Amino acid sequence: MLLPRLYFQHFTSGSFLAERNGELVGFLIGFLSESRRGESYIHFVGVAPEWQGGGLGGYLYQLFFDYSRAHGRTVVRAITSPGNAGSYTFHRRMGFDVEPGPVAFDGRPVHPDYDGPGLDRVCFVRSL
């Protein structure tokens, strides 16, 4: 599960919801790193299918970049699954670099077993 309840209890300051006519149409769950004082981290972003491609995801990212800068953060990180080509392109368009990995999937650098056995990830980093 990507969004257990703890995110809505302990990580609300850096998270943003977008509503249209009272309906949730997008969200970003992020936070300032507790351990790396110059960094922030985007845990998960989602835009409702009928709203994708209209700039909402980018807007939520800009809000989070501004929030991070306002708290003195100079680096933001995120990860995604190797097969999520849309997320990969989105993050590249948002200015993220891809951290080199030992293997590749469809040309995307991958860190095998990053989140545990079989849970490979692509790692993004962006300067603010």
Ligand X SMILES: CC(C)(COP(=O)(O)OP(=O)(O)OC[C@H]1O[C@@H](n2cnc3c(N)ncnc32)[C@H](O)[C@@H]1OP(=O)(O)O)[C@@H](O)C(=O)NCCC(=O)NCCS
Stretch that binds ligand X, among 14-22, 79-87, 95-103, 115-123 (CB under 6 A): 79-87
Does residue 122 belong to the site contacting ligand X (CB under 6 A)?
A: no
Does residue 89 belong to the site contacting ligand X (CB under 6 A)?
A: yes
Answer yes or no: are the C-beta atoms of 29 and 89 closer than 8 Å. Answer: no
Name the one residue in this structure whose structure tokens are 């209890």.
9
Q: Which residues ranging from 21 to 50 are in contact with ligand X (CB under 6 A)?
A: 45-47
Answer yes or no: are the C-beta atoms of 82 and 122 closer than 8 Å. Answer: yes
Up-side HSE of residue 100: CA atoms within 13 Å toward CB? 1
Beta strands in 6-121 (DSSP E): 16-20, 23-32, 39-47, 75-80, 97-98, 103-105, 108-110
Does residue 90 belong to the site contacting ligand X (CB under 6 A)?
A: yes
Stretch that binds ligand X, among 8-16, 54-62, 98-106, 108-116 (CB under 6 A): 54-62
Closer CB to ligand X, 41 or 90, in the complex: 90
| Position among 24, 38, 58, 62 found at the interface with ligand X (CB under 6 A) | 58
Number of Cβ atoms within 10 Å of the Cβ of 47: 21
| Position among 15, 40, 68, 80 found at the interface with ligand X (CB under 6 A) | 80
How far is residue 5 from each of residues 1, 8, 30, 102, measured CA to CA in Å? 10, 5, 14, 34
Closer CB to ligand X, 72 or 93, in the complex: 93
Does residue 72 belong to the site contacting ligand X (CB under 6 A)?
A: no
Q: Which residues bind ligand X (CB under 6 A)?
A: 45-47, 52-58, 80, 84, 86-87, 89-90, 93
